[in-house]
Amino acid sequence: MKPSLRPLLAAVLSAFAVGAAQADITIGVSLPLTGPASGLGIPTKNGIAMWPDTIGGEKVKLIILDDASDSTQSVKNGRRFITEDKVDVIVGSTATPASVALSVVALEGQTVQISTSPVDLPEGKDAWTFRVAQSTPLMASALVEHMKKHGIKTYAYLGYSDAYGETWLKSFDALAAKAGLTSLATERFARSDTSVTAQALKITMAHPDAILIGASGSGSAMPHKAIVERGYKGKIYQTHGAASRDLIRLGGKDVDGAIVVAGLAVMPESLPASHPSKKLATDFIERYEQQFGAGSRNQFSAHGYDAHLLLQAAVPVALKKAKPGTPEFRAALKEALESSKGVTITQGVIRYTAKDHWGLEDNARVLLTIDKGDWKLAN
């Protein structure tokens, strides 16, 4: 070998070695940044924008795509992540139907998906899907308990005609039946609907003691207002998908008195000092509102932020077995998440197992009410 070529070869080998030792962790993010669920996706993206540049000491490469609140586009994004971008992790979607579709791709590609919505999947179909959002049964049980304590005996349901609405209906009906509550009416509407007058009329004519609305973001305000405009005077409950300022902003005085089950990041100041997420959630909300404006707090941004806290715990463990960009690393990351002893996030403490990819418990929820345009703890 010519002496003049030796320094060049050494430089190339050195650069290759450094690149191999410092392989980026590539994360594909698919969120509803446009369409009916954009009110959920944009805050989630904001939460992700607050991630550090490195996870587990490795540089993070983020690829963020819009699923347009559409399941078909979500699948396209997921296939691109796996076949073209060779991602190590998929994050999203905050639109439940889009996240369900994404889970199919994650399973096929054996790539960890951190879902930012409470996707309900058949047994075995969630092998690679880990939820950072609270499960629907966990949140529904809080509403059932509140209804029982306040003497409610009958209820009606008005919700989305998609995976989010149907999951809530199924979970709530089952828990309510066990608690002795009786369902008097069930009505559905599409996320894209601009009116629910007919459904609201049927619901109110059943004269239930309470009505549960199974909607999210800005879509939760329209059915609430329609029910109030029909003269309904009973209690109206909302799911954790509605726990954002969109409900208050669009609902106005009509949503005063609503009972909303929410994640901790909506009102972390209310948590007892002993709560493991108190400081973390409060610090996050303070930084979030400094960056995105006073009153902009919501649990969707927290879901986006919390995804990196899970990875901060799991990635160092996975790196002991394999390098990013390989099937072995993806498998090691899945195993690390399932074997964690508990990761504190803004919404509680997640303890995944091989059989439980939800992980959050009762202390990951809070009941709120709306009083004169602001959140307050519900009694």
SS (HEC) of the chain: CCCCHHHHHHHHHHHHHHHHHCCCEEEEEEECCCCCCHHHHHHHHHHHCCCCCEECCEEEEEEEEECCCCHHHHHHHHHHHHHHHCCCEEEECCCHHHHHHHHHHHHHHCCEEEECCCCCCCCCCCCCEEECCCCHHHHHHHHHHHHHHCCCCEEEEEEECCHHHHHHHHHHHHHHHHCCCEEEEEEEECCCCCCCHHHHHHHHHCCCCEEEEECCHHHHHHHHHHHHHCCCCCEEEECHHHCCHHHHHHHHHHHCCCEEEECHHHCHHHCCCCCCCHHHHHHHHHHHHHHHCCCCCCHHHHHHHHHHHHHHHHHHHHHCCCCCCCHHHHHHHHHHHHCCCCEEECCEEECCCCCCCCCCCHHHCEEEEECCCCEEECC
Give the pairing of strands 210-214 and 182-189: unpaired
Q: What is the 3-state secondary structure (H, E, C) of 188-226?
A: EECCCCCCCHHHHHHHHHCCCCEEEEECCHHHHHHHHHH
CA–CA separation, 326 and 279 (whole Å):
36
Q: Give the pLDDT score at 322.
A: 97
Which residues are CB-contacts of 117 (< 8 A; sequence separation ≥ 6)? 40, 93, 94, 95, 96, 99, 131, 133, 164, 303
Across the 379 residues of the chain, what is the mean pLDDT of every consecutive 10-residue run?
A: 46 41 85 95 97 95 97 98 98 96 98 96 95 96 97 98 95 98 98 95 97 95 97 97 92 96 93 95 97 92 97 97 97 97 96 96 94 90
Tokens standing for 353?
């197992």
Task: State the first-to-last Cα distance of the chain, in angstroms, to the nearest integer.
Answer: 81
Per-residue model confidence (pLDDT) at position 379:
74
Nearest one of 345, 318, 313, 357 to 106, comparing CA atoms? 357
Entry pTM: 0.88
Supply the pLDDT for residue 22: 53
pLDDT at 21 (0 to 100): 45
Is the CB of residue 33 less than 8 Å from the CB of residue 294? Answer: no
C-alpha distances (whole Å) from 279 to each of 183, 283, 291, 299, 315 are 40, 6, 18, 16, 23
pLDDT in tens, 303-352: 999 999 999 999 999 999 999 999 999 999 999 999 999 999 999 999 99
How far apart, in whole angstroms, are the C-alpha atoms of residue 99 and residue 104?
A: 9
The C-alpha atoms of residue 280 and residue 346 are separated, in whole angstroms, by 6
Return the half-sphere exposure (C-beta side, CA atoms, 13 A cut-off) of residue 351.
7
Q: Are 321 and 333 in contact (CB under 8 A)?
A: no
Q: How far is CA 210 from the centre of its chain?
A: 26
C-alpha 246/C-alpha 242 separation (Å) is 8
Ordered structural domains, the chain, with CATH:
5-134+296-361 (3.40.50.2300), 136-262 (3.40.50.2300)
